[in-house]
Structure formats: structure tokens, C-alpha cells
Structure 1
Amino acid sequence: MALLEGLEVSEVKYENLNLGDRADAEYYSKDNLRIETLLNHLPHIRLSEIAKLTASAFYPAATHLYESGDMPFLRCVDTVKFPVISHLQNDSFIKIPAQFAEESKGINFLRKHDICLTKVGTPCYASIIYEHERIAMSRTVMGLSEIQNIDPFYLTIFLRSKYGFQQLTREREQTIQYQLTLDRVGDIRIFTPSTNFQKKIKSLALESFTFDKNAQEIQSTSEQTLLSALGLKDWQPPNPLTYEASSKTAFTSNRLDAEFFNSKYDAALDALKAAGAKSIRPLGALLKSLTNGHTPLKHNLSEGEVPFICSEHVQDFEVNLESSKRILAEHHKTELKRTQLKNNDILLTIKGRVGNAAIVEGLDGAANINQDVALLRLNQELPHWWIISFINSRFGRLMTEKYQTGQINPFLSLGTIRTLPIPVFEDKLMEDVGKQMQTLVLKARTARQQSKARLERAKRAIEIAIEQDEATALTYLKES
């Protein structure tokens, strides 16, 4: 009997099989068949009947143009976490020259109120283009344009709901990795509720975006708090064409790469001293312990009870404890015992996008970290919020940039973390800045939580309308 545990059997009529297309067991899982049957008995329409599906084909390599571009170049990474594509993302977009995009016949574009779908990498995530009049698509995404007879905001949220996302997941094809194709996506069923219901969903989507925008604005304010307190808000690092260092300095540093000796790093420390820093302390002198985790061998990270925090879950001041990656409780209690997280621990990303620091807060269960995240436990010599505020500031980023190694895959070793310089100012100034930052971070977090809550309400309302009826879904929206 143990061999049959978890076995699932679906019965499908032969006439419903297309043996030249998909006849694999996963495609005909009970859950997939249930969704198909449910939608077939409700008002629905095929996606290809209400939108034109488009994607970029092959185009010349453009990586060398990213620094000089002015046209946002939409990628999978720009979409997954952003149901609404807006100007809030302008700083994170890769950009290509508009002329290059126009002349490359393989590149297609999306316009305001079109929808983007991630196609490869992390497929199946939908986002609406909200503020950009025109945006170019990379090959990792596809687009829905010329949308008609349905509200595009509603369509976006439906595609992110259980009944839209599961259909997209079902239609993935695997070559080297999972990907979506235009034909298969065009065939999915779209539940079509009343216009009034669609408007309710659109309203929630816009409310979600407004809260997200508020969070971003608060975050921008927080970035200036420390610099303003030091009178360094307008300071910019120099950018000399050449710089020099003595041979003694070069050999004692164990670094011979030119970037390490860029004069902008010394200029940053000089600016901090001129602003009133009493001393510069190495971070190692402020630590009680420093370590990082690892990934258990031969373990499927989709299985387990304990959230596994990786570098993508650590942003400036914010740890996402809702990681979908998991480890077993046995891993947590044994081989990863030293990196069991506790409230008030400090996490620092040390691989990929290095230098993001955050305090663990609101942890009410077990959690652990992988090898790309360092765990810092600080002594009480300096306020903890002052330390992470500095690390996340313009000056802190310069210091992590100096000490990281590797250009393609930046890395910050535990040894170099200990050498990171932390400025010491008057106690009152550090306490005041730390408290201000803590308050602003809490406000931004609250706004993000409200944004997420609106989005989840919208998705759940669609699911209730499908599972029960519109009236019940509207009652849910009114009471929730």
C-alpha cells in the first residue's frame, strides 16, 4: 500500500485526447480537469478571442546598449512581483535605445493597458502596463494587446488568480526549461462576469497600486533620512579616469584589481569624517557572531516545513519570510542549527545583488537561510538601526561595492564583511536617525501589506464568483 500512497488516477475520454499535442498525466490531473469542467459551465471566452497575443522574436544582442538606452526593455524579472507595471520600476528596468528597438524587426512592443505575461524563466505571471505609453518586450515575456470586451485590470487579476494561473501552469511546455507558447496561452478559458463585477476588481487593483506607490515614496524618503542628518544629501562620489595606490597598500590589501583602489571610496570616508564622524569602526568589532547558511544536499526545496530565506527574499530593511522554498525540520535542527533565525537578527545579502541589509521582525515560527545570506548578531556598542541604515545608504553601498569580488557574480565573503567600515557619530544623532528609519520602514511595510491585501481580496473574489456566484463574491468584498 505504501507504494500507492499519493497516487492519483484520472479518467479521460479518448475523444478528448489529442495524442499529437498533450497526453501526459500532469496535463490531465484531477485539479486541471476540475478547473476545465468548472469554467465550461460558466460564462467564459477563449483568451485569443479577446486579445491579440504577441512576442518578440530573435533580435541582435543588445547587452552592450543597456547603459545608453531610453526605452524600457521588459523582462520576466520586471513582471513576477509587479501586477501593475509603472514608473515606480524605472530605476530597475534595463533600457535599450528606442532607435535600436524600432530597427530590430524582431522586437515587439506593448502599450498602455496592454498585458504582459512571463513566458520563460518564471512563466505564467500577468501584469498590466499602467503608466508607460510604450514598452519593448524581451524574449522572456509575451504580450496581450488590442484587448476588447473585457476590462484589462480584471483580466490581469483573473490570470493571477487560482483559476487563471493554474490554466497557464497547465499549458507550460518543457524543453530545457518550462515556457509558454502563444497558441497554448490563447486557448485558455477566461471567466467573464458582469461589467459591474469587473469594475470592482479594477478598483481593488488600483487601490493595491496606490498603496504600493505610497510604500515606494516612503522608501525614497527613508533613503534621504541619514544623508540629510549628516548634511550629505547632495554629496556625489568623484569619478576620476585614473587613480593610484602605493605598492605596499596594494599588497597588504590582498587585492590587485584597479577598482578596489578607486579614489571614490576614500572620498566617501573623508566626507563622513568631515561631516562629524568621531571614528570609523570595522563591522567585525560590532559583532557577537557572523555566519551564513548552506543548501542541504539532494533536497527538493519545494518540500519541507521550514521557510528557507535566500538573497531574493532580503531587500533593503525588509525580509520576506513567506519564501516558497522550504527545508525539512530535521535540516533546521541539525546541520543548519547555527543559522536558525530569531527576531532582531540582521541579514545581509552576500551574493548576486550584495549589500541589502534587514532586521528580522515578526518571526513567529522557524526560518533559516542559505549560503547567499549572512547572519549578523550585533553587540550593543552602536544602535542596530543606525548600522543597517548606513549599510543601505549611498555610502554603505560604496563600501560593499569596494569589498565585493567578482564582476559577473558579485560576492562578499564573511571575512570582508568584518572589514566593512561603520562611522560613529554622536550618540543622539545615531539614535535619532535609527528611530526615524525604523518608523519610516514600518510605514512602508504597512503600505505594502495593504497593497498585497487588496490584491489578495480581488483574486479571492474572482475565485468565489467561480466557485459559488457573483452575489456571494460581492458580499465577500463588502464585508472583508
Structure 2
Amino acid sequence: MTFSIIQKSQLEGADRIDAEYYQPEYLLISELLRRQKTQILKNLSNFIKKGIFDLSPDNYRSSGIPFIRTTSIKDPLLDLEEIVFLEAGTHQKNHSTSLQSGDLVFTKIGANIGDLSLLPSDFYEYNFSQNVAGVSVNKKAINFHYLFTYLLSKYGRKQIERRQMISGQGKLELEDLRNLQIVIPSLVFEREIESLIVESQRTKQLSIELYQNAEHLLLEKLGLKDFQTPQDLSYIVNYSDTKKVERVDADYFQPKYEFLVNKLGKKKELFKFAERINTSFKIEPDKEYNYIEIGDVNVGTGEVVFNKVVGKELPANAKIKICGGELIISKVRPTRGAIAIIPDEFNKDFVVSGAFSVFNLASPAKEFLQVVLRSLIGKLQMERPTTGTSYPTITDQDMENLWIPSVKVETQQKIADLVRKSHGARKKSKELLEEAKRKVEEMIEKGGD
């Protein structure tokens, strides 16, 4: 049994008498920070506030001022793949919540409370939603690269975890953020951390560019680099065609779908290209499994993570066992591009949701197929079966019937090489970030730099 004995004088205010707040781990961290030169986050910031209240999605645009929502805060080095934008006018009306590159955003509410991202230099200005806490960093008071890394380290995360107010869904109070203790190191140490974060950002950008090169190579070889779908206002469909697919909704028969398929030239269905895994297995109720669900696939990068879940707590559709190297494709909202190659090291007690179609195939075919399906070739074909429905899903059969262009093995290999280099650069970026966090933690544990 682990317990703490707390003197009345140690209680941090009358509203904090809950035992969880005084766990030994938190007390040790608090004592370690007390011995160091610190400032509260409020004193290192221009402001800490929540974002625009109750902004309708009708205001979202495909370009303009980036608008940060909780769905964007998955990677500490913010992913811009699924970002939405605001018009300049909407942004100006809400200029009090304007942030700049180098500022920080936290998930304030929901399942991933306390998640943190650094706003990149891709854009100068940003804005953010009401479920996000924004920190406008006083860049004259502290190096924002160091501050970001410190808050990602266990000494930042554990403070956030400790201060998190549990009530229903759970939320992170702004006052809790303002009172976070920040260890102030030397300028030399701040610059050392900055160099690691800058290199991590550069390597991540390289990863993005390598993947884009793979997709560009594919589209160029197929003559689809500047592909535009026809915007027909009217079209005629034979009754026999509607009977064949048992669909009569106009959206399904939009000419753009057949136009794309015809542009692919020589092709074959996915089921002739790869074998789908369709074997479920018996879950042991008391065994711990590594579970992958739809939200664990990063649609911007194709990265996949997992959660440890005891068998009896797994969802009913957690039924497909994987051994590493498989290609998984989301059947739910498929056009988002939640398509990933399972890392080879994910080979022990791994289970994926039945909301994925899972295929087993070797390189370079699996990397090639990932690029095809995440490109307009796959997304447009996966869009077609979901038309006319309020909750877009497709079936395993829909997936197996997707048309895959026939491309020379040499080209497939070039695409696969670019994808693997992209994955390697992404891994390196994460390693640099972890190195920066480790250095911050070691500095604090030594009592300063």
C-alpha cells in the first residue's frame, strides 16, 4: 500500500483536500521544484485563455487563418493536415484570442485533457476554439522551445495531471495552467533545447515532403497530377445500372467516379492485389492487450499508436489479431485517410478494431497501396459508397472492390522507398523530441544546469 501523511499546514487551500492530489509522486515532484528557481506560467505569458466561444462550423474555410481545435492537438509538433481556417474578418472579430507561431495550445476538455502542441512557423497568426486553452508566450521572458519541452516533460505533465479537475467529462482549469511552476534554466541550456526542437521540426517537415514526393510520383506516372473532376449539372443513368448496385440516389452516379476509374487505365480490384485478414480470435478476459482503434491512426502522417486494455474491457468489435506489417484501412469516414502500415514491432498481443479492413501483403506493395488509398484515387472511390448516408461507412466488400492501378514494380519500389524514408524521418523527429525532454528532466533532477 502507498500512502502519504499530510500536515494541515501542507494543504493547498480548502478546496484541495482530496487524497489523489497528495500522492507521493506528486509530493516528490513538488518538493524537487520548490528547491529550484521557478516562475509560474502566468508570469511568463501575455495571456492564458480559452478560445472562441460557440463558433459555428459554417465559419470554417479551406484557407485563411488556421483555427486550432482539440482534434488538431494530437502531435506535440502540431499537424496541419486536418486543420480548418477562418476568414480574416472572423478572425479580426475574435482578435482577443489571436495566437502567433511559438505559442502553445492545450486540450482543455475531453478524453485527451492536457495534451499540448507548439504552433509552428508555417503561419504567423492562429486562432483557437473554446475547448482549447491558448498560451501567448512572453518570448522576452523565456525561450518558447524550452517552455514547450518543459511542459511536455514529466515535470510539466505531472503538474497538469495533478491539477486536473475531475468533474464528469473532466476539464483543465485556466487557473491551474496559470499556476504551473516552470523551472528557469540558463540561457545556454535554453538554446541547447531550442536546437533539438528546431531539428525535430525540420526532420518532421522532411518526413512530410518525402511522403508528398511519393504521392506526386504515383499521380505523375498515372497522368493524374493535375486531375480535375467534371462538374456535370445533369447526367443520365440507365435503370439497369441502378438495379446492378441497388442504389437510386443521384449522388452515387455522379460522373466524376467513373471518370476517375477510366483514367486509371490498366487496373485490378484490391482483393486481387492483397489478402484481407478476416479471422477473429478468443479474447482472454484478464489478459492485457495492445488495442488500436480508429482514433489511434494519425490521418495526417499515417502513424499508429495503441492503448493497453484488459481483455474484459475491450470493445465488442475488438476482434482482429495482428502480428506486425499489416495494412489497416478505416471503414468509418474512410475519406479522412486513416490508413496505416502496422510497425513490425507491433507483434505481440495486438488487436485492432473491426472498424478496420486489414490486409496482409509484402513490400513494396503495401507502401504503394497505402499511398494509392490515401491519395485522390482511393478517397474518391471510398467516397462513392458513403453518399446518401448521415454516417459515412463502407463495408469490407466495398473495400475489396476498389480499383488499384497497375504500376510497374520498379515504380512501386521507388514509392515504397520514399514512404520508408518518410517513416524514418518521422521516427528521428520523435527521437529528437524525446532527447530534448530527457535533457530537461535530467537538468531538473540534478538541481539545475
Secondary structure (helix, strand or coil) at the match of 2:200 reads helix
Query: After alignment, is 387-396 or 401-410 more displaced?
Result: 401-410
Deviation at 1:130, TM superposition (A): 3.3
Q: 1:80 to 1:258 in 2, by over 3 A?
A: same
In structure 2, give the amino acid aligned to 1:346. L
Q: 1:144 to 1:390 in 2, by over 3 A?
A: closer
Q: Where do residues 31-430 of structure 1 align in structure 2 (5 Å cutoff)?
A: 31-56=25-50, 59-67=53-61, 70-83=64-77, 85=78, 89=80, 91-104=81-94, 108-121=97-110, 122-131=112-121, 132-147=123-138, 148-273=140-265, 277=266, 280-291=267-278, 305-314=288-297, 320=303, 322-328=305-311, 339-354=320-335, 355-363=337-345, 365-366=347-348, 367-377=350-360, 383-404=365-386, 409-423=391-405, 425=406, 429-430=407-408
Q: 1:129 to 1:441 in 2, by over 3 A?
A: same
Query: After alignment, is 185-194 or 96-105 more displaced?
Result: 96-105
Asked if the contact 1:80/1:118 (under 8 Å) is kept, the reply is no
Asked if the contact 1:71/1:96 (under 8 Å) is kept, the reply is yes
Q: 1:363 to 1:79 in 2, by over 3 A?
A: same
Post-superposition Cα deviations, 1:181-220, rounded to whole Å, max 9, x if no partner, equal 2111111111111111111111111010000010011111
Asked if the contact 1:384/1:434 (under 8 Å) is kept, the reply is no
Q: 1:208 to 1:418 in 2, by over 3 A?
A: same
Query: After alignment, is 410-419 or 55-64 more displaced?
Result: 55-64
In structure 2, give the amino acid aligned to 1:25. A
Query: After alignment, is 246-255 or 208-217 more displaced?
Result: 246-255
Asked if the contact 2:339/2:370 (under 8 Å) is kept, the reply is yes
Post-superposition Cα deviations, 1:388-419, rounded to whole Å, max 9, x if no partner, equal 43223321211111123675542121121222
Deviation at 1:455, TM superposition (A): 0.4
Corresponding residue to 1:435 among 383, 392, 413: 413
Deviation at 1:457, TM superposition (A): 0.5
- Provide the rounded CA distance (Å) in 2 between the counterparts of 1:92 and 1:460: 30
Root-mean-square deviation (CA), in Å? 3.2
1:12 paired to 2:6: yes
1:466 paired to 2:440: no
TM-score (norm 2): 0.88
Secondary structure (helix, strand or coil) at the match of 1:27 reads helix
Asked if the contact 2:297/2:304 (under 8 Å) is kept, the reply is no
Q: 1:391 to 1:80 in 2, by over 3 A?
A: closer
Query: After alignment, is 361-370 or 181-190 more displaced?
Result: 361-370
Deviation at 1:68, TM superposition (A): 6.2
Query: After alignment, is 25-34 or 304-313 more displaced?
Result: 304-313
Deviation at 1:452, TM superposition (A): 0.6
Post-superposition Cα deviations, 1:337-373, rounded to whole Å, max 9, x if no partner, equal x722134422111113455434334226312201222
In structure 2, give the amino acid aligned to 1:291. N
- Provide the rounded CA distance (Å) in 1 between the counterparts of 2:126 and 2:427: 28
Deviation at 1:173, TM superposition (A): 1.4
- Provide the rounded CA distance (Å) in 2 between the counterparts of 1:314 and 1:397: 16
In structure 2, give the amino acid aligned to 1:458. A
In structure 2, give the amino acid aligned to 1:350. K
- Provide the rounded CA distance (Å) in 1 between the counterparts of 2:38 and 2:143: 14
Secondary structure (helix, strand or coil) at the match of 2:161 reads helix
The equivalent residue for 1:476 is none
- Provide the rounded CA distance (Å) in 1 between the counterparts of 2:390 and 2:46: 37
Percent identity over the alignment is: 24
- Provide the rounded CA distance (Å) in 1 between the counterparts of 2:327 and 2:309: 20
Secondary structure (helix, strand or coil) at the match of 1:163 reads helix
Report the number of matched residues: 444
Asked if the contact 1:292/1:371 (under 8 Å) is kept, the reply is no
TM-score (norm 1): 0.83
Q: 1:294 to 1:97 in 2, by over 3 A?
A: farther
Post-superposition Cα deviations, 1:283-312, rounded to whole Å, max 9, x if no partner, equal 234454443879979x8xxx9643212223
Asked if the contact 1:403/1:416 (under 8 Å) is kept, the reply is yes
Asked if the contact 1:70/1:97 (under 8 Å) is kept, the reply is yes
Deviation at 1:34, TM superposition (A): 1.2
In structure 1, give the amino acid aligned to 2:278. T
In structure 2, give the amino acid aligned to 1:313. D
Asked if the contact 1:290/1:414 (under 8 Å) is kept, the reply is no
In structure 2, give the amino acid aligned to 1:111. Q
